[in-house]
Amino acid sequence: MSAAIESFLHSEPQSWKRLFGGNGPLGTLSAKIDLSRLLGLITDTIRSDLHIIREVRNEFAHQIAHKTEHTKLSFSTPHIKDKCMAIKCVAHEDPTEPRTAFIRSCAILYADFEMLQFFGVKVSDGGRIFAKVEQHK
C-alpha cells in the first residue's frame, strides 16, 4: 500500500521517512488505509476490508504477547470468524472458512496494490482498487 501511495508523491526520501516512519503521521497501517481512500486509490468497501484485516492481524499479534491473560484466539473464535467472513473482496469466491477468507483477501489485495504500482496507473487515469462485487455499480 505504501508503494501505491508513493506513486502519487514526489521523491523526497527525508520527507517520506518523516511521514511514513514509525512515529510519523502515516506510520500506521490505519493511517495508510485512510489516506489510500482519501486519494481515491481504494473504494469504501476495500477500506473496510483493509481495516478488518488490520484488526484481525492486531488481535493475533497482541494475543501472542498476552497468552496467559486470554483464551487462545483462532480463526474459529466467533468475533474473528465474523470479521473474516465479512470481507467483501473475496465474497465472489464464497469462502466457507474464515482462515481462507482472510488469507485470500490478503493475497488479492496485495496483488492489486502491486499491479497498481507495477503498471504505474494513477487514479486520474482510471486506476482504483475495488471488490469484484462492486464492479457492476
Q: Give 66-111 pLDDT, tens digit per residue.
A: 455 556 788 998 899 999 999 999 999 999 999 999 999 999 999 8
pLDDT at 65 (0 to 100): 45
Domain count, the chain: 1
Q: For residue 19, tell me if it sits in a domain.
A: no
What global pTM score does this model have? 0.81
| Structure-block grid coordinates of residue 132 | 469484484
pLDDT at 120 (0 to 100): 65
pLDDT digits 0-9 by tens, 11-51: 888 988 898 888 899 899 999 999 989 988 889 999 999 99
Q: Report residue 19 CA to chain centroid gap.
A: 19
Q: For residue 127, tell me if it sits in a domain.
A: yes
Q: Is 40 left (phi over 0), alpha (psi -120 to 50) or beta?
A: left
| Structure-block grid coordinates of residue 56 | 484481525
Between CA 119 and CA 111 the distance in angstroms is 12
Between CA 41 and CA 113 the distance in angstroms is 9
Between CA 114 and CA 109 the distance in angstroms is 9
| Structure-block grid coordinates of residue 50 | 483493509
Range of the domain at 86: 42-134
Q: For residue 33, tell me if it sits in a domain.
A: no
Q: For residue 7, tell me if it sits in a domain.
A: no
